[in-house]
Amino acid sequence: MKLLRELLPGYKKHPVSISKIMESFTISCPSGDEYFDHHPGLQRKCWQKGWHRQVFIWLPLGLVIGLLAAMFVLRILRRIQSPHHRLQDAIENRDICVHYQPIVSLANGKIVGAEALARWPQTDGSWLSPDSFYSLAQQTGLSEPLTLLIIRSVFEDMGDWLRQHPQQHISINL
């Protein structure tokens, strides 16, 4: 009680309820800033009491949001840096291109078909050939989606040409 008397001068004159339970004190704080102006110790005590409640609400929420943000950043970094995920993204976004090289008959010099060459454009402007990325596709289980992408691209690009020239053929180089 001595501490409360020091903290709350004139506590008997003002509407503050104090209860003693197992040697700890509970202070019910009245509302109204004019009361706090005369009792700065009570203002600090009430603020501390409210602060503890806020900690129990905001701290877990902050931890959850922080963990989600960290997981999101790690996932993005993994995607950016991992060759497997870069290749998977390139297949899903159809970034693997097909270039066509004519096949010429040595006997008569006529074009008898074309070879479809898969190429993966890089951010620096260079192109990777299949010998650079097809082994990665095989190791990571992406060879089937990659092959299907190349075949679809050939049919989309050259389907009409092959219908018009049934004697021609397309060889796919993977």
- The answer to whether residues 136 and 82 touch, using CB atoms and an 8 Å cutoff, is no
The pLDDT mean for the chain works out to 80
Which neighbouring-strand residues pair with 98? 118
Length of the chain: 174
- In 8-141, which residue ranges form alpha helices assigned H by DSSP? 33-38, 40-81, 83-92, 130-139
Residue-wise pLDDT tens digits, 51-102: 667 777 788 888 999 999 999 998 887 767 788 888 999 999 999 999 999 9
Which sequence spans correspond to the domains of the chain? 83-172
Residue 21 has a pLDDT of 47
Phi, psi values for residue 2, rounded to 5°: -65, -40
Query: Which CATH number does 83-172 carry?
Result: 3.20.20.450
Residue-wise pLDDT tens digits, 116-133: 999 999 989 999 999 989
- Please, which residues have CB within 8 angstroms of residue 89's CB and are 6 or more apart in sequence? 79, 95
Which neighbouring-strand residues pair with 117? 99, 173
> In angstroms, rounded to a whole number, what is the distance separating the alpha carbons of residues 149 and 152?
5
Q: What is the DSSP letter of 3?
A: H
> In angstroms, rounded to a whole number, what is the distance separating the alpha carbons of residues 81 and 85?
8
Measured distance between the N- and C-terminal CA atoms of the chain, rounded to whole angstroms? 87
> In angstroms, rounded to a whole number, what is the distance separating the alpha carbons of residues 60 and 49?
18
Residue-wise pLDDT tens digits, 150-163: 999 999 999 998 99
Dihedral (CA of 35, 41, 42, 43) sign: positive
pTM, to two decimals: 0.55
